[in-house]
Amino acid sequence: MENELIQWLSQPGLTHYLMIGALLFCIGITLVLTRRNVIMILMGIELILNSVNLNFIAFSRFSVITLDGHLTALFLIILAAAEAAVALAIVLNIYNRFKTIDIDEISLLKG
Amino acid sequence: MELTTLLFYFFSLLTIGSAIFMVFSKNIVHAAFALMFTLLGVAALYVLLFADFIAATQILVYVGGILILILFGVMLTTKGFTDNLKTLTTNLRPVSVVMTLVAAGMIYVLLTTTWPVAEIAEPEGTITGLGTLLLKEYILPFQVTGVLLLVAIIGALLMATKVKHQQ
């Protein structure tokens, strides 16, 4: 039993990487749910996107030996960059109008 | 123990540790730097998974682009000087309890599932294959992403310049 555990620990396989991805995902969700600063929430979303990417790359390394996972990860990185640019422009607009980026204060639907 | 195993554990500890630091740090700039270490750790994990091009792209785009954008956002949206960089945390205790349970459930599912594992091929560079795929099978998504980036740039510019007219 212990030997099996040590054997399992000493050979990082697909499960190890998927576990790292799951932990990163949960930490990202925690950041999104607990923080009240819009920029911190954006950082949480970046963590979630990274965990997804890690899963794609891990599967394309261990399960399917093709490069499709790599390409999906590449497109996801591009999407994350576009999302960050637009989101930060929106955050700057919010700051200019409300003078705060605390999401509890930003409660108007019609500015 | 092999070197790659040690490297795997080192970089996964770096990734998860600095991500947890982000959750508990009060200062937003400290959190941004912890995010940098998380992203670098994920890039190193990509290298361990033989994804060299994705790792380089991760460092260039995330650490060099998105993190700088986030730091600019922090600088442009804080009033006064450095003592206002503290951020509020609400509901930390219930959310972390729930997310720990969710993480435990996910890890249980991951450990009890048998995944289809293929024969591990010899590692070789991925750049040639990626370039061929990108210009053959994936030419349409490639072009659509270009259009998406153009639209995102125009949208961000429009929103950022509209701010000046309102004042």
C-beta separation of B68 from B76 below 8 A:
no
The answer to whether position A8 is within a domain reads: no
The answer to whether position A95 is within a domain reads: yes
When the pLDDT of each residue in chain A is averaged and rounded to a whole number, the result is 88
Q: Is B115 on the interface with A (CB under 8 A)?
A: yes
Which ipTM was obtained for this model? 0.90
The answer to whether position A5 is within a domain reads: no
Count of pairs with CB atoms under 8 A, one residue in A, one in B: 225
pLDDT tens figures, A43-94: 999 999 999 999 999 998 888 778 888 999 999 999 999 999 999 998 988 8
**Contact between chains at B117 and A63 (C-beta distance less than 8 A):** yes
Partner residue facing A57 (CB), from B39, B51, B90: B51
Residue labelled with tokens 């050979």: A11
Q: What is the CATH number of the domain that holds A58?
A: 1.10.287.3510
The answer to whether position A24 is within a domain reads: no
Q: Which residues of chain B neighbour A20 with C-beta distances below 8 Å?
A: 12, 15-16, 45
pLDDT tens figures, B104-145: 999 999 999 888 887 776 667 788 889 999 999 999 999 999
- Single-letter residue type at A55: N
Q: Among B4, B115, B117, pick the best mutation site for testing chain A contact (most A Cβ within 10 A).
A: B115
Q: Provide the domain limits for residue A69.
A: 37-111
C-beta separation of A91 from A101 below 8 A:
yes
